[in-house]
Amino acid sequence: MNDVIIIGGGPAGSVLGCYLSMAGISNLIIEGSIFPRAHVGESLVTSTTRVFKEIGFLPTMEREGFVRKYGASWHAPTSREFGIDFDPFPEEGIDQNYTYHVDRSKFDLLLLKHAESLGSKIYQGVRVQKVLFENDQACGVRVKMGDQEVDLPCKMVVDASGRQTILGNQLKLKLKDPIFNQYAVHAWYKDLDRGSGITADWIHIYFLPIERGWVWQIPITDEITSVGVVAEREIFKQAKLDLESYFNKYTQTNPDLVQAMSSATRVNEFKTEGDYSYCMERFVGNGYLLVGDAARFVDPIFSSGVSVACFGARMASEVIRNGFELDDFSEATLMPYEKRLRSGVEIWYEFIRLYYKLLPLFTHFIQSKDHRQQIKRLLQGLVFDREEAPVLQAMRDYVKAVESSDHHLFKAHLAAVPID
């Protein structure tokens, strides 16, 4: 019998497999598709380096020549650009001032292979149908192999099934986000003009003149660039356009983006992403826990997803190790994981809400001597195991001041996003 069964071989599942194998805990990762498979979420944040280093994956990232990401840049519709580089990276023990942009089909395959090399057993092309329970305690999974249903027992089940949220659906734990209901249309392009100089390979975000609308530009290789249009789902619905016309309409609304895309040619089909931004009612229960997107998903404006998956897996491995030491996999034993994950992701969520509440505030804070360093720490993904970030309170205070003033320059930019 396997000690732990992990549902899903994305970053959350693979990283967890690595940590568990390193701790001598046997684990089986069951992945529904056959890798390589395409996936959204191509730009990482610097904090992931810590996890890659701990699991011995950093040499692979370097060897494979993923595009290095040294910073991020935001483009207002007025053609003003606001950039931030990741140098210096203030975390002890991490000596890289860059992270990576990744082709997820390649990155996820390498990470899964890495987990296998450390000891995880891997099934690919096998879907988990449900998690099995005995007296309120998860005790295994049911999979479909060919025509046959097979029950696989284990001591602990981890749901790392991403936005398919298998356990969240089974136990009806999903709470839709009350504010965000975004929709993304994206594709890869060649001959996109990324400019020259140090910012050419940064992530570029273009603001659109629509509610919570923005476009990402992420370099995948020297030739290929990923471009995605994100906006409220309602805007997509009301546009009543096919994907190409919708995409073209909105990429025409930011002059810097028009310039970047003037000679660009699409090289693959458009893909769409909806139904994101949610939180599960709980992340742990007797004999199970949820990690990565299976637990919580926040809007991707700051490229936080893979980092949250990696750190979630790291924290999950600690409580699981503790569970094996005590031979106790109860909800109470696993709960410290939920608390740590919740408070870290809450910082991302607050940051995202304040960002959407008042866009000019974000660009103002990036440029401010007092706040730039703290904003940088957030953008690097340093959100776990810390008290609330003071810069968020400063942003909140600023929003309140704008709200209560009659003549503030930013007043017209306040969005209908609740921040309390």
Ligand X SMILES: Cc1cc2nc3c(=O)[nH]c(=O)nc-3n(C[C@H](O)[C@H](O)[C@H](O)COP(=O)(O)OP(=O)(O)OC[C@H]3O[C@@H](n4cnc5c(N)ncnc54)[C@H](O)[C@@H]3O)c2cc1C
Residue 125, token pair as written in the block: 């092309």
Which one of 49, 303, 317, 333 is in contact with ligand X (CB under 6 A)? Answer: 303
Given the complex with ligand X, which of 10 and 323 has the nearer CB atom? 10
- Of 171-179, 241-249, 292-300, 389-397: span binding ligand X (CB under 6 A): 292-300
306: contact with ligand X by CB under 6 A: yes
Q: Is 32 in the site for ligand X (CB under 6 A)?
A: yes
Minimum Å gap between C-beta 195 and ligand X is 20
- Structural contact between residues 279 and 207, judged by C-beta atoms closer than 8 angstroms: no
One-letter identity of residue 247 = F
Q: Which of 6, 25, 28, 30 binds ligand X (CB under 6 A)?
A: 30
Q: 213, 292, 323, 344: which one contacts ligand X (CB under 6 A)?
A: 292
- Whichever of 52 and 398 has its CB closer to ligand X, that residue is 52
Task: State the minimum distance, in angstroms, from the CB of residue 115 to ligand X.
Answer: 12
Q: Compute how many other C-beta atoms are within 10 angstroms of the C-beta atom of residue 241.
A: 13
**Residue 204 to residues 52, 73, 123, 361, Cα–Cα distance (Å):** 24, 5, 37, 18
Residue 304 DSSP symbol: -
> Shortest approach of ligand X to residue 219 CB, angstroms?
12
What does the DSSP 8-state code read for residue 39? Answer: -
Site for ligand X in 255-274 (CB under 6 A): 273
Establish if 164 lies at the interface with ligand X (CB under 6 A).
yes
Given the complex with ligand X, which of 110 and 184 has the nearer CB atom? 184
d(CA 289, CA 333): 11
Sign of torsion over alpha carbons 100, 105, 108, 109: negative
Please say which residue, 10 or 285, places its beta carbon nearer to ligand X.
Answer: 10
Q: Residue 13 interacts with ligand X (CB under 6 A)?
A: yes
User: 303: exposed, middle or buried (C-beta count within 10 Å: 0-12, 13-18, 19+)?
Assistant: buried
SS (H, E, C) 251-284: HCCCHHHHHHCCCCEECCCCEEECCCCEEECCCE
Span interacting with ligand X, options 30-38, 58-66, 87-95, 356-364, rule CB under 6 A: 30-38
Kindly report the length of the chain. Answer: 420
CB of 347 to ligand X, least distance (A): 16
**Per CB under 6 A, 12 contacts ligand X:** yes
Contact positions with ligand X (CB under 6 A) in 170-209: 184
Options 28, 138, 284, 309; binder of ligand X; rule CB under 6 A: 309
Q: How far is the CB of 389 from ligand X (least distance, A)?
A: 19
Among 2, 21, 27, 43, binds ligand X (CB under 6 A): 43
Q: Can residue 17 be called a binding residue for ligand X (CB under 6 A)?
A: no
Residue 217 near ligand X by CB under 6 A: no
Handedness of CA 266, 272, 277, 282 (dihedral sign): negative
For ligand X, the closer CB: 306 or 361: 306
Tell me the closest approach of the beta carbon of residue 102 to ligand X, in angstroms. 9
* Residue that is written with structure tokens 């209901």 in the block: 181
169 binds ligand X (CB under 6 A): no
User: According to the binding rule CB under 6 A, does residue 300 interact with ligand X?
Assistant: yes
Chain residues 116-135 in contact with ligand X, contact rule CB under 6 A: 127-128
Chain Cα centroid distance, residue 108: 13
Which DSSP string do the residues of 65-125 spell out, in sequence order? TPEEE-EEEEE-TTS-EEEEE--S--STT---S-EEE--HHHHHHHHHHHHHHHT-EEEES
Decide: helix, strand or coil at residue 372. Answer: helix
- What pairing do the DSSP bridges indicate for beta strands 137-145 and 127-134? antiparallel
Q: How far is the CB of 19 from ligand X (least distance, A)?
A: 14
Note the residues at the interface with ligand X (CB under 6 A): 7-13, 30-33, 39-44, 127-128, 160-164, 166, 184, 273, 276, 292-294, 300, 303, 305-307, 309
